[in-house]
Amino acid sequence: MHAMAKMIANSVFLLLGALSFIATVQGQDQSGFISIDCGLSENSNYTEKNTGINYISDANFIDSGVSKTVSPQDKTTHPQYFNYLRSFPNGIRNCYRINVTIVTTYLIRASFLYGNYDGLNTLPEFDLYLGVHFWETVKFTNSSVSINYEIIHTLSLDYIHICLVNKGTGTPFISAIEMRVLGNVATSYRTIDSSTRLARFRRLYFSSITNLIYRYKDDPYDRVWEPYWDQKWTQLSSGFSNDNLIQSYFKPPAVVMETAATPKNATASLDFHWENDDNETQHQYYFYFHLTELQHLGPNQTRSFNVIMDGEIWTKNFSQYKKNNSNFKKCDI
């Protein structure tokens, strides 16, 4: 399946601050955080220096598997929670049991770094489950490249199982499990079916001058924002204070809304396209566009544009009616 989103500016020029594709914490005190370093020694804990997030050992959440450590080189190039991992050489299905708050919406993230921990230099492939529900097939492209999978789900029980399943193509393992209570922002991620689990496809911000990944503390819900840029674009930067840039229900962090993309050619469009990596599955995509006005417009100037999905107009003459106010739209295709 090939999908494409196109935005065409009708006046001035189009700018886009941030964009979330989801196939999508209570505050700076981490009161809604569960941060588990898998493979860390029992009763151990630490504060990760770059984010300030507090991590604990996984020993109280699982009674199988063995602790392993990645290569010395990978330890120096990745955050601390990738130093160790838990490997599951025995059994087909190994599960963590984590106590949670019932009827609460969580952002759940599972992270993996192979780091040639077993000395075999052979990339494994295995399945990740959320309880009895298939979540993702864990695949690697490089021994030293970490990956993570993220899902938004409202939990109906007071515990959750996160399971690694051996399918005969390598030993399953896991590096970290992170869960964040989404609080009031969770209502923004509602779907047609309230029981739907939303898996993150992309969460992007647009900047040509930084390659930084933003998360907590910039985002109090610890959503991960990755940079993206196209050489056909021009960057715009904020001329306003941060207080004016985070007025939407999604509460995107100010730092990702301070830059935006606009076409170098004022009459051109901003295009996004992707391929479905699973040709046998028809995915439903939800789009969350985060836009804010970063320029002082004249009294007779407006900024409006069309949003086109696969050649059909989704939103026509979209305009931010209030200056400096972040708006969003949502759709499924």
Of residues 191 and 170, the one with the higher pLDDT is: 170
φ, ψ at 291 (rounded to 5°): -130, 145
Mean pLDDT of 278-305: 79
Q: What is the rounded average pLDDT of the residues 257-271?
A: 89
> Is pLDDT above 60 for 10?
no
pTM equals: 0.85
Q: Tell me the pLDDT tens digit for each residue of 180-205.
A: 999 888 888 877 666 678 899 899 99
Indicate the domain borders of the chain.
Answer: 2-25+186-332, 33-181
Nearest alpha-carbon partner for 153 in 127, 135, 137? 135
Read off the pLDDT of residues 116-157 as tens digits, 9 standing for 90 and up: 999 999 999 999 999 999 999 999 999 999 999 999 999 989
The CATH number of 33-181, from 2.60.120.260, 1.10.3720.10, 3.40.50.170, 3.40.50.970, is 2.60.120.260
% of the chain at pLDDT higher than 70: 81
- Give tens-digit pLDDT for 193-242: 666 788 998 999 999 888 899 999 999 999 999 999 999 999 988 755 55
Give me 234's structure tokens: 């021009």
For position 287, what pLDDT does the model report? 84
Going by DSSP bridges, is the β-strand pair 198-206/226-228 parallel, antiparallel, or unpaired? Answer: parallel
Look over the chain and give the mean of its residue pLDDT values, rounded to a whole number.
Answer: 84
Please say if the pLDDT value at position 304 is more than 60.
Answer: yes
Judge contact between 283 and 312, C-beta under 8 A.
Answer: no
Average the pLDDT over each of 49-63, 92-106, 252-266 and give the range with the smallest value: 252-266
Note the residue count of the chain.
333
Closest CA to 152 of 120, 218, 196, 113: 196
**In this predicted structure, what is the pLDDT of residue 16?**
54
Confidence check: pLDDT of 278 > 70: no
